[in-house]
Chain A
Amino acid sequence: MEENKNNIDDRLWEYIDGQSSVEEKPAIERLIETNKQWKEKYHELLELHQLVQSSALEEPSLRFTKNVMEEIAKYQIAPATKAYINNKIIWGIGIFFITLVIGFLIYGFGQVDWSAGGNEKLPIDISKVDYGKFFNNTYVNVFMMINVVLGLMLLDRYLAAKKKKLQKEA
């Protein structure tokens, strides 16, 4: 019963707001004309709708605009966010981390003995993995070195861009 009532309300509000579909609109109009419950509800909701529409806005104090203008005189308009976010740096950081993840994945898969084990067992015994080996390996060290160099290059580019900007402003 309650669900039915809510359904009527929702459909009528959509109709009043002009949000009903082309098919729904004549169906609701027919229901309002022929069904007493729908008719009463429609007038009830329409009355509320018109009342709220006619309500007045609240007004701030007379000095409001003056106060705002005095306040903004202390500030500068901040540069657009887009202007100080360098997309190349964002991309660089993204590529750096993706390279890191891919490198670790390649190394991890390289360590797996795919021929070992049967169908029911995992190809690696997690409890027997020597984690120390991962970080003592020459390949890992080389890989980390590449990443550090990449990171330093990105930092250098960022600082160079900043310096250039400062020189321009000066």
Chain B
Amino acid sequence: MSTGPSDSEIISLVLKGDHNAYALLVERYKSYVFTLTFRFTKNREDAEEVSQDIFVKAYRSLADFKGTAKFSTWLYTIVNTTCITFLRKKRLDVKSLDDERTFEVADSQDSGFRANQVEQKSRLIMVNQAIAMLNPDDAEIITLFYKNEQSLEEISQILGVEVNAAKVRLHRARARLKDKMEKHFTEEIKDLH
């Protein structure tokens, strides 16, 4: 993921009083944390504020990081709890994975992502837009697995569920992503072939 001192080296420097070393960790993980929070907030300003809050929380609890798991896994656990709290505060509907109405809500929210609007955009942006159409639970697990280099075991730790439950959630999330892409980006997908 990165060069330079390892996460644990940076953490021990920070704990010894070199607070500026924390900037290295922020630089290293800011995009991963921001991408995850953006999946929840669906808004850049909120994502920026929540991400900042996450790094402050992580800094304050740094002495509690035992090093038994990867720093990223520990950090994403804070991301998960902070984002859930944010959604609760915002009183947004965090729907269960089995709730079919989730799709209807997501569909109604995605009017800005019509296929013709992204005709000229790259396929990478298309994927990000399709992920943004998913509910936060689905978007989070896909981001953790594909972008944040977390294994299913680590994802299960972050979400506080069994490994099998994480696997099922990931499968379902991917199926929904596939549906979204087929529904909204049919032309772009054809162009890829």
Q: Do A and B interact with each other, yes or no? A: yes
Question: In the complex, which of the residues A52, A57, A79 contacts B177, with contact meaning CB atoms closer than 8 Å?
Answer: A52
Choose among B32, B35, B127, B177 the residue that contacts A54 (Cβ–Cβ < 8 A): B127
Task: Count contacts on B: residues with CB < 8 A to the other chain.
Answer: 46
Say whether, besides A52-B177, A54-B127, A65 and B62 are in contact (CB < 8 Å): no
User: CB of A71 within 8 A of chain B?
Assistant: yes
Q: A47-B192, A54-B124, A80-B63 are in contact. List 14 more A-B contacts (CB 8 A).
A: A13-B170, A45-B178, A48-B177, A48-B181, A51-B181, A52-B127, A55-B127, A56-B128, A57-B35, A58-B38, A64-B48, A64-B52, A75-B60, A77-B15
Give Cα A82 to B68, complex, Å: 15
The yes or no answer to B94 lying at the interface (CB within 8 A) is: no
Q: Number of contacting residues on A, CB 8 A?
A: 39
Residue from A49, A67, A81 whose CB has the most chain B CB atoms within 10 Å: A67
Nearest to B20 among chain A residues (CB) is A69
Q: How long is the Cα–Cα vector from A17 to B145 in the complex, in angstroms?
A: 10
B residues near A55, Cβ cutoff 8 Å: 124, 127-128, 131, 146-147
Residues of B within 8 A of A (CB): 14-15, 19-20, 22-23, 26-27, 30-32, 34-35, 38, 44, 47-48, 51-52, 55-56, 59-64, 123-125, 127-128, 131, 142, 146-147, 152, 167, 170-171, 174-175, 177-178, 181, 192
Instruction: Decide: B23 and A56 in contact? CB cutoff 8 A.
Output: no
